[in-house]
Amino acid sequence: MKKYLFLFLAASALTLACSREALNPSEKPAANYPVQIDPILTKVTETDFENGDAIGLTVTRQRGAWASNAKLVFDSSTGAFAGDLLWYEEGADEAELFAYYPYVNLESGGPVPGRFNVATDQQSGTSSSDLIFGSKNGVLPSAHAISMEFKHKLSRVVINVTNNAGYTIGGLTLKGSIPGADISDFEVLVNPDLGPADIQMFKASATQYQAIVVPQTVAFEVEINAAGVPMKQKMEEVTLLSGKQYTINMIVNPTNIKVALSGAVANWDNGGVINPDDSEIVFEEHLDEHYFIYHNEYYYTADMKDGRIWMADNLRYVPDGFTPSSDLTAVTAGVFYPLALNADSSEIEFVESADMIASKGYLYQAEVALGLNVGDLTTVAQAEALEGAQGICPPGWHVPTIAEILALVGKSAGRTTVTTAPYYDGANGSIALLNADGFNMDAFGSISIQDNTKTVGTFLGVKYGNRIASGMFCGSSYAGVTYNTSGDETSGIKNLQFYGFMPMTNKATEAEYTCNGTKVSYRIASPLRCVRNEE
């Protein structure tokens, strides 16, 4: 069924309709005059009723009920509801009419359902969930259709989607509301016997989704399925009112969504303004759906053939006390912006746009990745103790160890090759094999700061055609040390190394791209992938 807004008729038109409605009291209508209802739809979801739409009508006179929950069906050729119900013969006997949509076979006989549930799956449309009431007093039997005003009794939520990421949107779900209503004295209250449910929304257009919900006090959570991965946003608590519409304006970015909920009028009464819940989601894990939320950022995960769960995105969390830098002389900044080729692909440069950060993540010096401040590591014993450290990874995750790197890709500088590793192709760790299982590895580049005596960094990332073709990733296993005076521990540490990843894409085809383990100097700034702890 489609029903959109009929604007309120002008007062003169209403007067005319009423003047047509009643016969002269001296006229005694024949018993075969059918009861007809001409609906005036105020604030309704679509344009009009359609053929076959049915209402339940109750007609009550002073002397008693004439009809209870009589089924009347809409005929678009006449623009009115009609059925088998006929008027009584007493033409001067006024009646009170109650009608509701959609029609159900009421055990109580009417005049309206005592309970009503909205559909939890509204993907095919909202019509069957859109409870509407109409009533009119002082009605006399008439050969003409009786004009009756209908009003919404529930609430509507509309989500407008701006898809900046170009993702395929697989659907929207509205979480947290109770789908059942108790109806008493024509007022709608939430059913206390039911719990919250997920409502799958109707796709009204390429950019708009709709759902009918029961009026209640609720803190919605909006979930959008983008590129096969659900993204969520919690909203602040709001009291939904009968007949009101609430509009959510949602922006889908490459790895997150931003939402603003307001009461913009769109054929329903204005429901006021609601804001997103701006409290931070520190950590929320949804491994069965292959993602987690960490400091309000969404990250994909991949179940790899080594038996572990790995991040399939680079970390983009900025720890407290740090500000990302784009200055190669800031050799102790700790966190740097990601790298990309410039517009003509001639040079590597820092990029600070939200989309690039979302795609590439930040670059971290090892001490920061491992949860410290730059300059905290002063001994080999400290470095060795960081094996498997959580660092800045989310709870239950950690910076990968060399054992985990070898178990994944098989090969690393300074280590014995593990030929049975699932992503070892007989010569190297294979990016093609990793990415076939959703690892999403690439050569993102790094900032080379060779040791703690250097005062300026350089871009590390061999350019190959129109891409950065090399880089390094942080790891947590100690790999080596050099001292200010070679071999003299008392002279102080000049450089520490940790084992990490080294992706290389300086080949003609992706099948040749490699991702092996390597030794990474601790002042090099590079991306970070975390691995989940074993349970």
Reported as a single tens digit per residue, the pLDDT across 375-420 is: 999 999 999 999 999 999 999 999 999 999 999 999 999 999 999 9
Angle at 91 between CA 90 and CA 92, to 5 degrees: 95
The pLDDT assigned to 407 comes to: 98
Segment among 95-109, 180-194, 316-330 with least mean pLDDT: 95-109
Q: What average pLDDT does this structure show over 200-204?
A: 95
One-letter amino acid of 458: T
The pLDDT value given to residue 7: 28
Residues 6+ apart with CB under 8 A from 376: 367, 382
Q: What does the pLDDT look like over 452-480, one tens digit per residue? A: 999 999 999 888 888 999 999 999 999 99
Average pLDDT over residues 79-96: 90
Give the pLDDT score at 226: 75
Question: In this predicted structure, what is the pLDDT of residue 403?
Answer: 98
Q: Per-residue pLDDT averaged across 52-64, rounded?
A: 90
Q: What is the mean pLDDT of the chain?
A: 86
* pLDDT of 31 above 70: no
Which pLDDT score is estimated for 329?
A: 98
- pLDDT over 70 percentage in the chain: 86
pLDDT at 261 over 50: no
Position 25 scores a pLDDT of 40
HEC string of 376-433? Answer: CCCCHHHHHCCCCCCCCCCCCEECCCHHHHHHHHCCECCCCCCCCCCCECCCCEEHHH
- Which range of 10-24, 248-262, 387-401 scores highest in mean pLDDT? It is 387-401
C-alpha 154/C-alpha 7 separation (Å) is 19
Q: With cut-offs at 50, 70 and 90, classify the pLDDT of residue 163.
A: confident
- Average pLDDT for 162-188: 88
Which residue in this structure is represented by tokens 């390429």? 206
Specify the amino acid at residue 491. S
d(CA 433, CA 452): 36
The answer, yes or no, to whether residue 18 has pLDDT greater than 80, is no
Q: Cα separation of 166 and 164, whole Å?
A: 6
Q: For residue 270, is pLDDT > 80?
A: no
What's the average model confidence in pLDDT over 230-253? 83
Rama region for 358: left / alpha / beta (φ>0; ψ in -120 to 50; rest): alpha
The tally of CA atoms less than 13 A away on the side-chain side of residue 229 is 25
CA distance 512 to 271: 58
- How far is C-alpha 291 from the chain's CA centre? 12
Q: 481-518: buried (b, 16+ CB within 10 Å) or exposed (e) per residue?
A: eeeeeeeeeeeebbbbbbbbbbbbbbeeeeebbbbbbb
Per-residue pLDDT band for 20 (boundaries 50, 70, 90) equals very low
Is residue 211 scored above 90 in pLDDT?
A: yes
Whether the Cβ atoms of residue 365 and residue 374 lie closer than 8 Å to each other? yes
Domains of the chain: 11-152 (2.60.40.2620), 155-279 (2.60.40.2630), 297-532 (no CATH)
